[in-house]
Structure 1
Amino acid sequence: MKTLQTLAIATSLSLVTLGANAADNFAGLTWGKSTSNIDRSSTLKQNMAGPNRFDDVIKNSGTWGVRAGQMTDEARYYATYENVSDDYGNGLKLRQQNLIGSYDVFLPVGDSTRLFGGASAGLTKLENESSGYSRDSDIGYLVGLQAGVLQRVSDNASVEAGYRYLRSNAGTEVAERGVGKVGSIDLHSTGQAYLGVNYHF
């Protein structure tokens, strides 16, 4: 986690200092709800029969993020660090951390309102913190798309609402303490609806 946070801060600071001709720099916070689709290995399906309970761990789960980048009237590019952690009633617990680079194109619909759409790529870290299981983690890639609306509320502030869909290949082993490995899980995709507030400088 410390490694991803350090990378997020370094990437954000780099983006803020890039380009002397950019219209403005911005930094902000996001809060939303994430739902992750988890695939189980065939071995885990045999050892953990029934519905895929891992799909219910990160499901409409609170997700916070920090971001920084640069914005013009036509587009923006920015880096985001996100963190979501949740558990299921039977002791299953997962944590997902994302470090994302994004690019959006704007479509003005008024003097201070813009629709946006764009693409993202980066890294994701999946951690299995389930009770009764050995902890395991993995870092994989992620790619995705996002769209939403951004509203400028003053010279130095804007708010936005958006939706992001990400595909990933991160996965972890599932090993019961005292028993050993019973299978593995893979993070297939994540959908996220979010709200954000940005400060422009």
Structure 2
Amino acid sequence: MNKLHTLAIATSLSLFTLGAHAAENFVGLTWGESTANIDRSSTLKQNMGSDRFDDVIKNSGTWGIRAGQMTDEGRYYVTYENVSDDYGNTLKLRQQNLIGSYDMFLPLGDTTRLFGGASAGLTKLENESSGYRRDSDIGYLVGLQAGILQNVGANASIEAGYRYLRSNAGTEVAEHGVGKIGSIDLHSSKQAYLGVNYHF
């Protein structure tokens, strides 16, 4: 069982344990734009020069699915996210996140709430660049998020948020027939998103 599956099971069990205190369950979809801050090794800088790995995942479309439990005071939820993009039809990266989060609410009225909270989880970084061997790595994620949540009717809500995450995932960069020429590390990522939730 890999780390992603282990985290999913552990987080799900935590959510079910909190069920007795939850007012309602919810599921949701998110769509936004992500930018990844990629660090290059000194060897890669020497061998590739001014490559543009920082421009691969840059304001790139990101979709996610989530499920959790919500009370009047806050919410617990698990989110899976996927973003993939390329630069110049040569460099290509994919990032997949599995995140457990908690948000606290600050009411602005009967149907509107500000939220802020913390997240932790795992990320999988994949180097799918043309002309290079595919490589992937799973690392941790920790970060913060904030936004606004608006109820729409009795069983739905919409939200807008911003998330910042730090990570330690990294992959090797190796040309076909040449071998390793360096490595890249996912230092951090940021995301602005919109979401819709169904409550039950």
Q: What is the TM-score when the length of structure 2 is the normalising length?
A: 0.94
More off after superposition, 81-90 vs 7-16: 7-16
Q: Which residue of 1 aligns with 2:80?
A: 81
Cα root mean square deviation, aligned = 1.8
Q: Percent identity?
A: 79
Question: Deviation per CA, 1:53-75, whole angstroms, max 9, x where unpaired?
Answer: 00000001010001011111111
- SS for the counterpart of 1:20 is helix
Question: Deviation per CA, 1:103-153, whole angstroms, max 9, x where unpaired?
Answer: 100000111000000000000000000000000000000100000000001
Count matched residues. Answer: 199
Q: Which residue of 2 aligns with 1:117?
A: 116
Q: Which residue of 2 aligns with 1:35?
A: 35
Counting only pairs closer than 5 Å after superposition, residues 167-186 of structure 1 correspond to structure 2 as 167-186=166-185
- SS for the counterpart of 1:154 is coil
- SS for the counterpart of 2:54 is helix
Consecutive unaligned residues in structure 1, runs of 5 or more:
none
More off after superposition, 109-118 vs 17-26: 17-26
Q: Which residue identity is paired with 2:195?
A: G
- Partners of 1:171 and 1:35 lie apart in 2 by 16
- Partners of 1:80 and 1:194 lie apart in 2 by 13
Counting only pairs closer than 5 Å after superposition, residues 1-201 of structure 1 correspond to structure 2 as 10=9, 14=13, 17-18=16-17, 19-50=19-50, 52-201=51-200
- Partners of 2:54 and 2:14 lie apart in 1 by 35
Judge conservation of contact 2:21–2:71 (CA < 8 Å) in 1.
no
Judge conservation of contact 1:12–1:67 (CA < 8 Å) in 2.
no
Q: Which residue identity is paired with 1:123?
A: L
More off after superposition, 188-197 vs 13-22: 13-22
Q: What is the TM-score when the length of structure 1 is the normalising length?
A: 0.93
CA gap 1:125/1:32 in 2 versus in 1, 3 angstroms? same
Shift of 1:155: 1.3
